[in-house]
Every structure is written in C-alpha cells, then in structure tokens.
Amino acid sequence: MNVGDTLALKKSDLAMFFASLAHEMRLVAPKRRFGGDVIFDVVESPTQIAWDYGHDIYPPKRFVLPHYEDLFGYRADGEVRFEDLGEAPMQAIVGIRSCDVTAIRFQEKFFSSQIVDPYFKARSDNTVLFSLVCNTPPKKECFCICCDAGPYLDSGFDVELTDLGDRLLYRIGSEKGLKASEPGGHMLAPADGEDRAERKRIELEADSLFATEAYLAKAILFISADEVPDKIWEELGSTCFRCAACTNLCPVCTCYTVDDRREDDGSCVRCRSWDSCQYAGFTREASDHNPRPTFGSRVQRRFYHKASYQYITRDGRHGCVGCGRCVSACLTKLDLPSVVKRIRRSMEEYLQPLPSGEVRP
C-alpha cells in the first residue's frame, strides 16, 4: 500500500474495517440520535455510523476547534503554577464531506501561518480525515461546486471513500491516511477498471445535481476594491438578528474569545470559545468605543473575510467552502449565495446613471 493508491473495500467488511481502526483511535462519525437527527459525534462502535446521513447542519470542526476548550489552568496563591490542559486525542473523522475537509485544511493553514497555534496543531495532527464523496443528491442549499471544495476532492483528504453500491472505492491521500489504513489493510483490495469508471460516472453525475449557485467572482471584485457603498451594506445588515448562526455553523470560521474561569478550589482555567464578528461586542473596547458600530459594518466584515482578494492572497483561497449551512441557518438570508447575488444586483442598479444623466462617484 502506498499514498496515492486506489483500492476497494467491500461493504460487508466495512464495520470490521473500522472496528480494527477503533483499536488505534476514537471514531468520530455521523451518528443517528433519537428522532432520527444525525450529527457528528464520537461513536462507540462502527455499526453506529449513519453512512446514509446526507448532510448535517453542525460541522465537525468542533473536533479540531472545540466550541469551548480549556487551554491551561493556574493557581496564583503563593507560587504561580501552570498546568497545560491541552487535549489531542487520536481520532478519525469518518464520513466527513469534501467541503468540511477543505475547511479543516484551510484552518490548518491559518493556524500554522506566521505563528503556530499549539492547541489546534496538536488536535489536527492527531486527526485523520476519511472523506465521503457526495454521490447522493446534494441538499438544495449546497454550492461547494462553486467554491472548489466538492462534491469530491482531488487532494486534501487522508482517505477518500466513494460509495459504489456493494463496495467503497478507497483512495489513500496522505501518509496519515496510509498509516490509518494499516489496521484493516487486509480487507482492502486493488480497485479494478470498472470501479474507476463507476467513480468517474459518479463525479459527472454529482456535478450536475446542484440547485444553488454562487457566482462569487463579481462580488469579490466589488468587495476587494471597497466599491460596495455603506448604504448597501447597511441595507443588508438591517435584517441581521445578531444570532451568529452563520459564523458558528461555518466550517471555516475560526475566531475565538478567551476567558478566565474560576474553579471552586480557587484555581483558574483559561479557556477559549467560538466568538463571532457579527456580535457588537466583538470589537467594542473598554472605553465603549466600537470601531465596527453598525450591523452593516459587521456584515461587511464577514464578507470581506470570506470574499476579498486581500484574504485570498493571505489564505490561498476564499473563505467559503459552499457547505450551505449559512443558507439553512440564516433566518433573513444573509447567507453567502444570497448576499453575493444581492451585491451583484444592487451594484448593477447603483452604477446605473442617475435620471439626470450623472454617474455616481
């Protein structure tokens, strides 16, 4: 077995294969809960993996960047003592979609650029991503195809699985993926020409099934050049509830806040938790001065981070993977495809000559 190999895994061996892997690391996978909801969670047995889950609303990013994470504890009575509380369990995220794989790779790059974040790095180093190609129809909100993040990947996965009916196509994408393939390696057989042809057919079919489109290019131009007037941003922002569902459910968003929590025994724990640029308090200073005081300025901030050349240059790609979760979550359509469309349309209207024949500055 080598990195780059394309293999096949019989579905009848699937549970056994991941049971072998479970001896080495914990399995995080789509898990069906009471009532039928599916969410990524730690599974005790591979039989709990809901392979047919479709898409989930809560991204698996919380297994590399937890919603709430203890960084270190300290006691400051007398001698100051620190205790690193960082945890980085060995884990395989099984069944993760291509968009979420792309998002985690984006975060890995961000957390390692310039200065390396030790907590994120430890977690992501110990995480193996088994991505699952979307050959079931995408949900109606999905637009990964516009964001170079799915429905299947060329690279970025550790292992990629494609459902071929009675078997899975099994591609090894990295050293980490190769190592995680070893425990159940005897169950993997070389893929034949028919398997590859079937995969090609699935790719073409998957590409044709999308209902949502996000033509980002024009919006990126307007946003990067700061040509969208404040008036349009304020109109967009005027319907924001400040609930932060968009950024919390975004698999790419990484912003966090830091707090010191007092424990009953007198010690303290410094912890970090997800924060959102959509909250007014995100930039409010101790003097009460807020450099981003309006809903419009905060919505502008979010889209500048998601779709500007300045950030594309920094991060190597734009900050959206097209998972469609903001489309499902936002009550007032401040999701990426809608906003991109509205910026395009508003700018078209805004740039029309005025009735007097004058052109707006």
Partner 1 sequence: MTLTAARPRNMWGVTDNPSPNLYIPMVAIVDEIIDETPDTKTFRLSFQDKEYAKTFDWEPGQFVEVTVFGAGEAPIGFASSPLEKSFFELTIVDRGKVTRAMHRLRKGDKVGIRGPLGNCWPLEEMKGRDVLIVSGGCGLAPLRPAILQMLADRASYGDFWLLYGARTPADRDFVYDLESWAARDDMHLLQTVDVPDDKWNDNVGVVTILFDKMRLNASTAVALICGPPIMIKFATIGLQRMGFTDDRIVMSLERYMKCGVGKCGHCCVNHVYLCTEGPVFTYKDLLALPELKL
Enumerate binding residues for partner 1 (CB under 8 A): 71-72, 74, 76, 80, 82, 84, 86, 110-111, 113-119, 226, 254-260, 262, 268, 270, 272, 275, 277, 282-287, 289, 291-292, 297, 300-301, 304-305, 308, 310-311, 313-314
**Partners of 162 in the β-ladder:** 169
DSSP secondary-structure letter at 186?
G
d(CA 18, CA 200): 26
Q: Return the number of the residue (25 or 312) whose C-beta is nearest partner 1.
A: 312
Tokens read off for 100: 């979420």
**CB-CB neighbours of 252 under 10 Å:** 26
Question: Residue 4: how many CA atoms within 13 Å on its side-chain side?
Answer: 0
Token code pair at residue 36 = 């039928």
Q: Which is nearer to partner 1, 102 or 308 (by Cβ)?
A: 308
Q: Which is nearer to partner 1, 71 or 189 (CB)?
A: 71
Nearer to partner 1, 18 or 111 (CB): 111
Closer residue to partner 1 (CB): 98 or 278: 278
What amino acid occupies position 161?
Answer: L
Shortest Å distance, C-beta 277 to partner 1: 7
Least distance CB 144 / partner 1 (angstroms): 24
Q: Residue 333, SS3?
A: coil
Beta carbon of residue 107, minimum distance to partner 1 (angstroms, whole number): 10
Provide, rounded to whole angstroms, the least separation between the CB of residue 299 and partner 1. 13
Instruction: Name the DSSP letter for residue 264.
Output: T
* Tokens coding 81: 């003592």
CB of 80 to partner 1, least distance (A): 5
Strand ranges for the chain from DSSP E: 6-10, 26-32, 38-43, 68-75, 81-84, 91-96, 127-132, 159-163, 167-172, 188-190, 256-262, 268-274
Give least dist CB 31 to partner 1, A.
Answer: 30
Lookup: tokens for 253: 């968003």
Closest CB 293 distance from partner 1, rounded Å: 12
Q: Provide the minimum distance between the beta carbon of 171 and partner 1 in the complex, in angstroms, as a whole number.
A: 32
State the Cα–Cα distance between residues 172 and 259, nearest whole angstrom. Answer: 40
Nearer to partner 1, 32 or 301 (CB): 301
CA angle 211, 214, 215 (to 5 degrees): 130
79/358 with CB nearer partner 1: 79
Round to whole Å and give the CA distance between 361 and 351. Answer: 9
CB of residue 114 vs partner 1: minimum separation in angstroms? 6
Q: Is the peptide bond before 229 cis (omega within 30 degrees of 0)?
A: no
User: Whose Cβ is closer to partner 1: residue 80's or residue 354's?
Assistant: 80
* Three-class SS state of 218: helix
Which is closer to partner 1, CB of 108 or CB of 198?
108
- 162: tokens are 């494609």
Rounded CA separation 183/23 (Å): 8
Residue type, 98: S
